[in-house]
Amino acid sequence: EARAAAAAAGGKRKVVMLSCRVHPGETPCSHTLRGFLDFLVSDHEHAVALRAHVTFVVVPMLNPDGCYHGNYRTCSLGTDLNRAWSEPSPVLEQTLVKTKELAMQYANDPDVDLEFFIDAHAHTSSKQSFLFVNPPGDVGDVAAWERTAALPRLMDRNCGANLGFSLAACKFCSDPSKAGTGRRVVGELLAPAGTMCYTLEMSFYTPPPQHQAWSATTSNEDAYESFGRAMALSFVDYYGLRDDAKSEAVMRRVEDATATAEGSRSRSATAPAAAFVVTGDAMFGFGASAGGGDAA
């Protein structure tokens, strides 16, 4: 309620930016984005509330020529665009140039707060959908860790179980081999704005809601669109636009960590929290050495 009231009171406009389909063969991400957008523009009360508080900026297809030609990973010139974000050619890789310019336009706008950048992909071997997550710049900033972890936690609440999202599979990733990816490059550009950057990896094996078991034959458009709608509800929860006790508990962790960082709690209470976060990402249930596995 406090977050919603603050937005309604005339604070900076919240902005969420999403990009998709830099790899043409990763079609599940497009079906997921379709479900996300269908919900977002619907008359559902939560969608209406979300549009009133947040602007969503969407780049639905970063590699249109690669998609047109039926390529799996590259553009029509054979370039893996998700390794070309650092210095894209203004002639040959215009979509990357313009997407970076668009992100900077919002980051530099004094009237908006670009909070999220999410680049959507699909994963050919993982049996769960998950997020690669940019770690905070200051590894000792407990509030930043909690804030960055909030979206994965909320997606675990809304997209887990039958929809196939796994919090335990999410990875804080600084793998040098991914230095040229959208998440990493845009994350560095937007670091002064505090934008949280993620790569969404949709599993090719996501089952539809009525199935419990993983199978290559149970993934379909409906399952991915359902995931997209559930992801939209995660933003509803992040911005406090509906009553859900468990989601509110996730956001309360962020608020408590922020209050601690601002000195409203004792120094002795801060030290264990910082140690907990810095020594291994126990918040996601996996080791600190997570480096990123397969290519994104």
Q: What are the helix and strand counts (H, E) for the chain?
A: 10, 6
Cα 52 to Cα 46: distance, rounded to the nearest angstrom: 10
Question: What single-letter DSSP state applies at residue 135?
Answer: P
Tokens of 253: 């962790």
- Amino acid occupying residue 197: C
Q: What would the two tokens of residue 119 be?
A: 């680049």
- Measured CA distances, 201 to 28, 118, 222 (Å): 9, 10, 17
The C-alpha angle with vertex 267 and arms to 264 and 273, in degrees rounded to 5, equals 95
Give the separation between CA 236 and CA 4, rounded to whole angstroms.
10
Contact (CB, 8 A) for 159 and 166: no
Q: Annotated catalytic sites, by residue?
A: 201
What would the DSSP string read from start to end of 21-49? -SSTT-THHHHHHHHHHHHHTS--HHHHH
Q: Report how far apart, in Å, the C-alpha atoms of 203 and of each of 14, 23, 26, 82 are.
A: 29, 14, 10, 18
Q: Is the dihedral of CA 228, 233, 237, 241 positive or negative?
A: positive
